Amino acid sequence: MKILVCISHVPDTTSKINFINGDSEFDTNGVQFVINPNDEFGLTRAVWFQEQQGATVTVVNVGGPDTEPTLRKALAIGANEAIRVNAAPTDGFFVAKQLAEVIKQGNYDLVICGKESLDYNGGMVPGMIAGLLGYNFINSCIDVKIDGTSVKAIREIDGGKETSSTSLPLIIGGQKGLVEEKDLRIPNMRGIMTARTKALTVVEPIDANNSTKAVKFEKPTPKSAVKLVSADNLDELVSLLHNEAKVI
């Protein structure tokens, strides 16, 4: 079984977010980038298939040379090889077109994407890839078992879970549940050294137009200062809740 894991290169959640050029671009200065958390769950599950069922695992990213350390980390975790599509991921449809081409060229059986990336939270790329290729698709996937070409998967739905049966080739939009957080792989020294010798192939993008463009970013409104009210001054508390907070 050939597995492709799509990796997004995203800011660490502890990073301070700023924008430049009239709030039209994300300021990467001083920002630490990591593997998108939803993708990391998928990568760990793929490595499990590699160990248990002899699957080969390839990771792919659409991005510039600055994303290669993230791909190398994925290789250190256990992926066999990596592909970088040499283009800026400025639009979800553009990214989906590039990944669909990689999938066609590699003839992969299972494609694991995160259901959404931590930065833009678009949640559109996995479904777009499935639509472009005509592959089966399961989103918000929290468990997947494969026997030959038969697949049994569980996904989260509002108020519960849904179990589905399908077949390969398949694209899933994964999240926490594919593996538990305690099972995520941390690269060890042997993995880091081995990753240096694994293939990282750079391919040029196919022609594809962006369907959308980010015009402006805006930070959430800062939280207002907290007002402390004495425990024995209930009248003031009621007045503030009624007149300022307007919750009563």
Would you call 84 exposed, middle or buried from its count of C-beta atoms within 10 A (0-12, 13-18, 19+)? buried
Cα separation, 166 vs 109, in Å, equals: 13
Cα separation, 86 vs 74, in Å, equals: 18
What are the CA-CA distances from residue 240 to residues 222, 223, 224 (Å)? 20, 17, 14
- pLDDT tens digits along 71-124: 999 999 999 999 999 999 989 999 999 999 999 999 999 999 999 998 888 899
Mean pLDDT of 163-178: 96
Confidence of residue 34 (pLDDT cuts 50, 70, 90): very high
Classified as helix, coil or strand, 92 is helix
Both structure tokens of 223:
């939280």
Cα separation, 29 vs 231, in Å, equals: 45
Mean pLDDT of 138-145: 96
Domains defined for the chain, CATH in brackets: 2-218 (3.40.50.620)
Of the candidates 106, 101, 134, which has an alpha carbon nearest to the alpha carbon of residue 2?
Answer: 106
Per-residue confidence (pLDDT) for residue 137, from 0 to 100: 97
Cα separation, 192 vs 169, in Å, equals: 31
Mean pLDDT of 221-247: 87
Per-residue confidence (pLDDT) for residue 226, from 0 to 100: 86
CA angle at 147 for the pair 141 and 198, rounded to the nearest 5°: 75
Both structure tokens of 36:
């998108």
The secondary structure of 94-141 as a DSSP string is HHHHHHHHHHHHHT-SEEEEESS-TTT----HHHHHHHHHT-EEEEEE
138 or 14, greater pLDDT: 138
Classified as helix, coil or strand, 76 is helix
Peptide bond into 169 cis (omega under 30): yes
Counting runs of H as helices and runs of E as strands, what totals does the chain give? Answer: 6, 13
Cα separation, 48 vs 1, in Å, equals: 12
Model confidence pTM above 0.85:
yes
